[in-house]
């Protein structure tokens, strides 16, 4: 379920800028943390890593 929410937010961020995109970036971080903390499977715990890396290191959505 978390990866579906990530995908939805990423599609919105792709078409938004400024404060509108910042809200979805915050949502991505919140969902990613919840996935790490609550998922019972390995893929669910690590699916956020690629998105987080793109945001933090590449500045892909800023």
pTM beyond 0.75: no
**In this structure, are residues 19 and 45 in contact, taking their beta carbons and an 8 Å threshold?**
no
DSSP 40: S
Domain count, the chain: 1
Q: What's the domain range around 48?
A: 2-58
What digits encode the pLDDT tens for the residues 8-49?
Answer: 888 888 887 777 778 888 888 888 899 899 989 888 888 889
The phi, psi pair for 21, rounded to 5°, reads: -70, -35
pLDDT value at residue 37: 92
pLDDT of 13:
80
């Amino acid at each position: 379920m978390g990866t579906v929410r990530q995908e939805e937010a990423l599609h919105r961020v792709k078409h938004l800028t400024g404060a509108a995109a910042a809200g979805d970036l915050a949502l991505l971080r919140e969902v990613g943390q919840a996935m790490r903390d609550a998922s019972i499977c390995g893929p669910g715990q690590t699916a956020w890593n690629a998105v987080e890396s793109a945001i933090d290191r590449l500045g892909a959505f800023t």
